[in-house]
Amino acid sequence: MDHSDKPIAVIGAGSTGSSVAYHLAKMGRKVLLVDMGQPASGTTSRSTALVRTHYSNEIVARMAVYSLGVLRNFGKIGQSGFVNSGMVFLGDHSLKDGMERISSSLSKLGVKTESLDPIAAAERFPDLDFSGIDFVDFEPESGYADSVGVATSYASKARQLGAEEIFGALVRRLELDAAGRMHSIEFVDGSSIHCSKAVLCTNVWTNSLLGNTKHDASLPMWASAHPVAVLRRPKGYEGVRVIVADLENKTYYKPEGKSLFLVGSLDPKIDQKKIDPENCPSDVSFEFLSFYAESASRRIPAMKDGVLHSSYIGMYDMTPDQHPIVDELSEMGLENVYCCVGLSGHGFKLCPALGLMVAEIAAGSTNHTFDPSYFALSRFTTGRLLQSKYVNIGTIA
Ligand SMILES: Cc1cc2nc3c(=O)[nH]c(=O)nc-3n(C[C@H](O)[C@H](O)[C@H](O)COP(=O)(O)OP(=O)(O)OC[C@H]3O[C@@H](n4cnc5c(N)ncnc54)[C@H](O)[C@@H]3O)c2cc1C
């Protein structure tokens, strides 16, 4: 195993990079964590941070189960702010196949899930209106966490374990040696630092860094803009309430804190719309706000008396099969350069498992807690995609 005296540079200190840095530092590796902003200042700060295990593919479901366990018991690392609200998934008959198969494979992994018919669901969740719904899956152990708290906790624990950090510094490009191996990272001010390896956790900014490094280097990923409405809940519908993934309306509803309520989209059309990450729109349109408010009050009648608190747009780093790319980029001629990007709008909850997986491959370990081959870049050319059991639902891949 290679124990170079030069650090492994982890570029990007969101929930992904901070977790990678923590896991590498815990393995005794020399680590340099770098960000152009502060830890969690990228898309992590915009996350609605749902923590669920409902996933189509077994490998990702196993990673979600592991990660849920870590986020529920985060005390040795820091504060995750996990709230065990439970989460329900509502579908009509067209989603029957997907929901049944997911629920049965989750049960085999030991996840508590309950399949309810709409009548039983209405008794269990009297706040919700189940019109148009044929199938309900309930995950009692899911919830939500504090994405910024998790990322900053991982970053500070990595520092305690010896990682060095440079924040407020944009990495302009990676410098390679004559054989195409990672040599150093070059900052925008022209200075550079030697590194044995680099791990890109740079989300929607990845292709810009790769393009500056090698003119033809780019990954099959793009940025998309996701509007979120924040509503204030009326009296009587406050406190911890179940999260609703309304697959029929392609929206999700997340009661947060004492009195807020977040609405976001599960519409794959939004995922497909490519935007320039440097010019992400900042205002949520009136059409979206009305659609969100109407959908929320149809599904949760109490929300007819909710009022708009604020709104914002966050970016997803999408890939064609809605799953991350975790790999060494040697097939692009970049040796000792690794990436964990393309998280496609569901990477927060997976950050404990992704951080461990990436640290293991970057450290050269041959023991893999989670098999990284599922996330290899080559799947986009070999066609071994991580297909969702859902058709036409975004994010819940
Ligand atoms: C609206 C919204 C809702 C979401 N909801 C959920 C959810 O409910 N559950 C869930 O699991 N996930 C959710 N996600 C997705 C999840 O938040 C992200 O997948 C995850 O937080 C991404 O973390 P990251 O570390 O990969 O990216 P980021 O947090 O974006 O971190 C990347 C970092 O890299 C830095 N960087 C980039 N390029 C450079 C460079 N060249 N030099 C130096 N630094 C650089 C940036 O400054 C940034 O801090 C949501 C995302 C959004 C936007």
Residues 217 and 227 both lie in one domain: no
Check which CATH number belongs to the domain holding 98 and give it.
Answer: 3.30.9.10
**Cα 17 to averaged position of ligand 1 atoms, centre (Å):** 9
CA–centroid distance, 22 to ligand 1, in Å, is: 17
**Ligand 1 pocket residue status of 43, Cβ below 6 Å:** yes
Given ligand 1 and candidates 23, 152, 203, which is best to mutate, with the most ligand atoms within 8 Å of its CB? 203
Count H helices and E strands in the chain, helices first: 10, 19
pLDDT for 303: 97
Residues 165 and 294 reside in one and the same domain: no
Distance 15 CA to ligand 1 centre (A): 7
Q: 126 C-alpha vs ligand 1 centroid, how far in Å?
A: 35
Say if 2 falls within a structural domain: no
Q: Say what the pLDDT of residue 1 is.
A: 47
> Do 227 and 371 fall within a single domain?
no
By alpha-carbon position, which residue is closest to atom 41 of ligand 1? 171
Q: Is 13 close to ligand 1, i.e. is its CB under 6 Å away?
A: yes
pLDDT in tens, the chain (397 residues): 455 789 999 999 999 999 999 999 999 999 999 999 999 999 999 999 999 999 989 999 999 999 999 999 999 999 999 999 999 999 998 888 888 889 998 999 999 999 999 999 999 999 999 999 999 999 999 999 999 999 999 999 999 999 999 999 999 999 999 999 999 999 999 999 999 999 999 999 999 999 999 998 999 999 999 999 999 999 999 999 999 999 989 999 999 999 999 999 999 999 999 999 999 999 999 999 999 999 999 999 999 999 999 999 999 999 999 999 999 999 999 999 999 999 999 999 999 999 999 999 999 999 999 999 999 999 999 999 998 877 777 777 7
Instruction: Give which of 379, 9, 393, 383 is closest to 194, Cα–Cα.
Output: 9
The three-state secondary structure class of 159 is: helix
Is there a single domain that holds both residue 227 and residue 311?
yes
User: How remote is the CA of residue 197 from the centroid of ligand 1, in Å?
Assistant: 21
Tally of structural domains, the chain:
2
For residue 18, the surrounding DSSP H or E stretch is helix 15-26
The whole-number pLDDT of residue 3 equals 58
CA of 221 to the centre of ligand 1 (A): 14
For 86, residues 6+ apart whose C-beta sits below 8 A from its C-beta are: 138, 139, 140, 141, 142, 143, 242, 243
CATH of the domain at 179: 3.50.50.60
pLDDT at 2 (0 to 100): 53
State which ligand 1 atom lies nearest to the alpha carbon of 16. 25
Q: Which of 284, 317, 350 is the last residue of a domain?
A: 317
Query: Do 304 and 236 share a structural domain?
Result: yes
Domain span including residue 183: 8-46+148-221+321-382
The answer, yes or no, to whether any atom of ligand 1 lies below 6 A from the CB of 354, is no
Q: What is the pLDDT of residue 96?
A: 83
- Do 198 and 226 reside in the same domain of the chain? no
The answer as to whether 64 is a domain residue is: no
Q: Can you give the pLDDT at residue 147?
A: 98
d(CA 243, CA 262): 10
Q: Which of 202, 284, 338, 395 to mutate to test the pocket of ligand 1 (most atoms within 8 A of CB)?
A: 202
**Ligand 1 atom closest to Cα of residue 347:** 19
